[in-house]
Amino acid sequence: MKTIAVFTSGGDAPGMNACIRAVVRSAIHFGLDVYGIKRGYEGMIKGEFKKMSANSVSGIIQTGGTILRSARSDAFRTPEGRQKAYEQLKKKGIEGIVAIGGDGTFTGAQVFMQEYPDLAIVGCPGTIDNDLYGTDFTIGYDTAINTAMNAIDNIKDTANAHDRLFFVEVMGRDAGFIALSSGIASGAEAVMVPESKTSIDKLIQTLEENFQKKKNASIVVVAEGDDAGGAFQVAEAVKKRFSRYEIKVCILGHLQRGGRPTCMDRVRASRMGIAAVKALMEGQKGVMIGEWHRSIKYVPFEKAIKHNAELNPTLLEMVKILA
Ligand code: F6P
How do the pLDDT tens digits run along the chain, 323 residues long?
999 999 999 999 999 999 999 999 999 999 999 999 999 999 999 999 999 999 999 999 999 999 999 998 999 999 999 999 999 999 999 999 999 999 999 999 999 999 999 999 999 999 999 999 999 999 999 999 999 999 999 999 999 999 999 999 999 999 999 999 999 999 999 999 999 998 999 999 999 999 999 999 999 999 999 999 999 999 999 999 999 999 999 999 999 999 999 999 999 999 999 999 999 999 999 999 999 999 999 999 999 998 777 899 899 999 989 98
For residue 226, indicate whether it is catalytic: no
pTM above 0.75, yes or no: yes
CA of 183 to the centre of ligand 1 (A): 19
Question: Could you give the CA distance from residue 89 to residue 105 in angstroms, rounded to a whole number?
Answer: 17
Q: What pLDDT sits at residue 141? A: 98
> Would you call 67 helix, strand, or coil by DSSP?
coil
The finding on whether 173 has its CB within 6 A of some atom of ligand 1 is: yes
- Could you give the residue range(s) of every CATH 3.40.50.460 domain in the chain? 144-258
Question: Could you give the CA distance from residue 293 to residue 134 in angstroms, rounded to a whole number?
Answer: 10
Buried b (16+ CB within 10 A) or exposed e, 215-229: bebbbbbbbbbbebb
The finding on whether 127 has its CB within 6 A of some atom of ligand 1 is: yes
The finding on whether 203 has its CB within 6 A of some atom of ligand 1 is: no
- Could you give the residue range(s) of every CATH 3.40.50.450 domain in the chain? 3-140+261-306
Q: What pLDDT sits at residue 310? A: 84
Task: Give the closest residue (by CA) to ligand 1 atom 15.
Answer: 11
The sign of the dihedral angle between the CA atoms of 228, 230, 233, 238 is positive
Q: Of the candidates 167, 184, 133, which has an alpha carbon nearest to the alpha carbon of residue 299?
A: 133
C-alpha to C-alpha distances, 237 to 198, 227, 253, nearest whole angstrom: 12, 13, 21
CA quadruple 54, 56, 59, 65: dihedral, nearest 10: -130
Question: Could you give the CA distance from residue 295 to residue 285 in angstroms, rounded to a whole number?
Answer: 19
Q: What pLDDT sits at residue 75? A: 96
Nearest ligand 1 atom, CA 171: 6
The finding on whether 272 has its CB within 6 A of some atom of ligand 1 is: no
3-140+261-306: CATH number:
3.40.50.450
Q: What pLDDT sits at residue 222? A: 98
Q: What pLDDT sits at residue 227? A: 94
Q: What pLDDT sits at residue 270? A: 98
Q: What pLDDT sits at residue 280? A: 98
CA of 257 to the centre of ligand 1 (A): 8
Q: What pLDDT sits at residue 72? A: 87
144-258: CATH number:
3.40.50.460
